[in-house]
A and B are shown apart, each in its own frame.
Chain A
Amino acid sequence: MIKIKNVEKVFNRNTVNEKRAIDNLSLEITKGEFVTIIGSNGAGKTTLLNLIAGTYIPDKGKIIIDDEDITTLPEYKRAKYLGRIFQDPLMGTAGSMTIEENLAMAELRGKRRGLGWGVKKSKRSFYRELLKSLGLGLEERLSDPVFLLSGGQRQSITLLMATLSMPKLLLLDEHTTSLDPKTAQKVIELTDKIVKENKLTTIMVTHNMQQAISYGNRMIMLHEGKIKFDVSGDEKQKLTVEEVVKKFGTELTDETLLSASVSR
């Protein structure tokens, strides 16, 4: 489905601040896989997502989706393949626009936009059903501007938007980190439900090791821009936080990561 071949990304090359964010990394993800990516700060998790999404262009290597080379394709042209959710819950929606306008824009992901009405009345009942599935009571608030909603509500809508047009690949960039623990749990469960129901190929970057272990069917640990650990199938199901910490404790210096694992 997606092939990443010998990709390299270096920031501030030839300066004292040179940072090899992604170092000759290769990775192949097959259709329907739900991959969680974990690693300490600066391991290259978000850079990897940015390379796949087109925010950055790699210095070396290739990125291929379904046999199409997208290595240098501009970000907006990748939209037809990708759905993406950011860490900041405000990033996924346009706050001054209404819930139904945001949903309608997401429905046109990667399609040609013209002078037809942005929100079609006939779609309203469909949007209502979708919002009902969130269980947040938003189905009665279709024409409310999104800035009135809480971070968790906005992130839930972003999740609906990302999946509305069934992307080939869903990218989740620590999308529960900025939410309070209760809301974060709700959003992650909703994510899991949506991904499973639609068999979406998904890459989820997370800081939280418990999350990385509990969800998905493959886990990858990044360290200094390289894949340190890649586990899937039964082996992944049996994995525990203690085991990972024991194995990689010396490299997992990141405090958030450790506290998240120790608290269990």
Chain B
Amino acid sequence: MGILSQLLSVIPISLEQGFAYALVALGILVSFRILAFPDLTVDGSFALGGAVAARLIIAGYHPLVGIIMAIICGFLAGTATGFLNTKLKINSLLAGILVMTILYSVNLRVMGRANIPLLTVKTIFTPFEEMQISRYIPIIIFFFLVTFASKIILDLFFRTQIGMAMRATGDNEQMIITLGVNTDRITVLGLGISNALIALSGALIAQDQGFSDAGMGIGMIVAGLASIIIGEALIRKKSVGWLTFAAVTGSVVYRLFISIGLRLGLAPTDLKMATGLMVIIALGLPAIRKEKEGKLHLRGV
């Protein structure tokens, strides 16, 4: 097989993972970009989604029930971080780390062990596996539809009165307070939405890969940030619809980079290091070029 066809062969897996993890990128977009809140709950809430869905599925519930419960639990995890920050006045970074750490124990409790295999049970993907075509086609279409539906719902939400108050909270908190908005409540709601999306991603990916694992969330936040940064480098328009589009696109391109890297001999164990370095370079470039622009604007740090 020539190099070109080898590279082309990574496209299906990149599309599948790109759209699947795009939900994480969208969630991080809501917390980091829209709310300007550096939420580190992500690594915990992603695994939480997988854990809740897996546990319910092996207990005999319909996969949809597992997915919906995962979304609700993710939402609650996000509101917990928001509560620690807004009511107990714990630093935003620390609040996220605390909930993430607590979730590690919670996830082990939920699953009852460190790993639940899902290969032999009926998941949301079982009907696709039974089709007489390549499994990639229906699964890519499925993840594409879920991700784009989420993107459209987010776009519409950010045009509502509450959604606009949320954007203003991240942009200029003092201003929207003087217009009568309780920004504490908005922050808690936004973190809930963000982590609900991330837990949804965890629930779907656990079923797609055939297992849920207590460690499956590690590095998720950095990967999501990398996706957003890549997306914004490719798509420079800043309106909300373009930001969500950029996050999805960035996620696909990021997974494409990763797949190509692996094909070219990058050790899977070095993946997180490579991703981390990528984010450092992207965030550090403005400082090296002595530019003021381009820095992430974050609240409560």
**1/0 contact string of B143-182 vs chain A (CB within 8 Å):** 0000000000000010111111101100110111111111
Q: How far is the CA of A93 from the CA of B157 in the complex (A)?
A: 21
Chain A residue numbers with a CB within 8 Å of B236 are none
B160 touches A118 (CB 8 A): yes
B160 touches A105 (CB 8 A): no
Q: How far is the CB of A119 from chain B (nearest CB, A)?
A: 7
Q: Is B87's CB within 8 Å of the partner chain A?
A: no
A114 touches B161 (CB 8 A): yes
Q: Is B183's CB within 8 Å of the partner chain A?
A: yes
A94 touches B172 (CB 8 A): yes
Q: Is B292's CB within 8 Å of the partner chain A?
A: no
B161 touches A115 (CB 8 A): yes
A97 touches B180 (CB 8 A): no
Closest residue of B by beta carbon distance from A171: B178
A97 is contacted by which of B160, B164, B178 (Cβ under 8 Å)?
B164
A76 is contacted by which of B159, B167, B183, B238 (Cβ under 8 Å)?
B183
Assess A96 versus B164: contact at CB under 8 Å? Given A84-B178, A117-B159. no
Q: Is A91's CB within 8 Å of the partner chain B?
A: yes
Chain B residue numbers with a CB within 8 Å of A84 are 178
A104 touches B164 (CB 8 A): yes
Listed residue (A82, A97, A105, A119) with the most chain B CB atoms within 10 angstroms of its CB: A105
Closest residue of A by beta carbon distance from B184: A76
Chain B residue numbers with a CB within 8 Å of A83 are 178
Assess A110 versus B180: contact at CB under 8 Å? Given A91-B175, A96-B171, A97-B171. yes
Decide if the interface of chain B is mainly helix, strand, loop or mixed. Answer: helix
B162 touches A79 (CB 8 A): no
Q: How many residues of A contact B (CB 8 A)?
A: 36
Closest residue of A by beta carbon distance from B167: A97
List which B168-202 residues lie within 8 A (CB) of chain A: 168, 171-172, 174-183
Assess A93 versus B163: contact at CB under 8 Å? Given A109-B179, A113-B181. no
Q: How far is the CB of A101 from chain B (nearest CB, A)?
A: 6
Chain B residue numbers with a CB within 8 Å of A94 are 167-168, 171-172, 175-176
Q: How far is the CB of A227 from chain B (nearest CB, A)?
A: 25
Closest residue of A by beta carbon distance from B238: A96
B171 touches A95 (CB 8 A): yes
Q: How far is the CA of A113 from the CA of B160 in the complex (A)?
A: 9
Closest residue of B by beta carbon distance from A81: B180
Listed residue (B177, B178, B181, B182) with the most chain A CB atoms within 10 angstroms of its CB: B178
Q: Is A108's CB within 8 Å of the partner chain B?
A: yes
**1/0 contact string of A48-66 vs chain B (CB within 8 Å):** 0000010000000000000
Q: Is A116's CB within 8 Å of the partner chain B?
A: yes
B164 is contacted by which of A82, A91, A105, A109 (Cβ under 8 Å)?
A105
Assess A79 versus B179: contact at CB under 8 Å? Given A105-B164, A115-B161, A116-B161. yes
Q: Is A111's CB within 8 Å of the partner chain B?
A: yes
Q: How far is the CB of A89 from chain B (nearest CB, A)?
A: 11
Q: Is A193's CB within 8 Å of the partner chain B?
A: no
Q: How far is the CB of A144 from chain B (nearest CB, A)?
A: 11
Q: How far is the CA of A101 from the CA of B182 in the complex (A)?
A: 18
Chain A residue numbers with a CB within 8 Å of B168 are 94, 97, 105
Q: Is A145's CB within 8 Å of the partner chain B?
A: yes
Chain B residue numbers with a CB within 8 Å of A111 are 180
Chain B residue numbers with a CB within 8 Å of A145 are 238
Chain B residue numbers with a CB within 8 Å of A19 are none
Q: Is A80's CB within 8 Å of the partner chain B?
A: yes
Chain B residue numbers with a CB within 8 Å of A119 are 159, 164
Q: How far is the CA of A110 from the CA of B238 in the complex (A)?
A: 28
Chain A residue numbers with a CB within 8 Å of B178 are 53, 75-76, 79, 82-84
B165 touches A105 (CB 8 A): yes
Q: How far is the CB of A74 from chain B (nearest CB, A)?
A: 8
A114 touches B162 (CB 8 A): yes
Chain A residue numbers with a CB within 8 Å of B183 are 76
B171 touches A118 (CB 8 A): no
Q: Is A106's CB within 8 Å of the partner chain B?
A: yes
Q: How far is the CA of A94 from the CA of B163 in the complex (A)?
A: 14
Chain A residue numbers with a CB within 8 Å of B174 are 86, 91
Q: Is A77's CB within 8 Å of the partner chain B?
A: yes
Q: How far is the CB of B67 from chain A (nearest CB, A)?
A: 23
Chain B residue numbers with a CB within 8 Å of A101 are 164
Q: How far is the CA of A161 from the CA of B160 in the complex (A)?
A: 19
20 CB-based A-B contacts, threshold 8 Å: A75-B177, A75-B178, A76-B180, A79-B177, A82-B178, A86-B174, A91-B172, A94-B171, A94-B172, A95-B171, A95-B172, A96-B238, A97-B164, A105-B165, A113-B181, A117-B159, A117-B160, A118-B163, A119-B164, A145-B238
Please give 20 more A-B residue pairs, beta carbons under 8 A apart, in addition to A91-B172, A94-B176, A109-B180.
A74-B182, A75-B177, A76-B183, A79-B180, A80-B180, A91-B174, A93-B175, A94-B171, A94-B172, A95-B171, A97-B168, A108-B161, A109-B179, A113-B162, A113-B165, A115-B162, A116-B161, A118-B164, A119-B164, A161-B179
Q: Which residues of A contact B (CB under 8 A)?
A: 53, 74-77, 79-80, 82-84, 86, 90-97, 101, 104-106, 108-111, 113-119, 145, 161
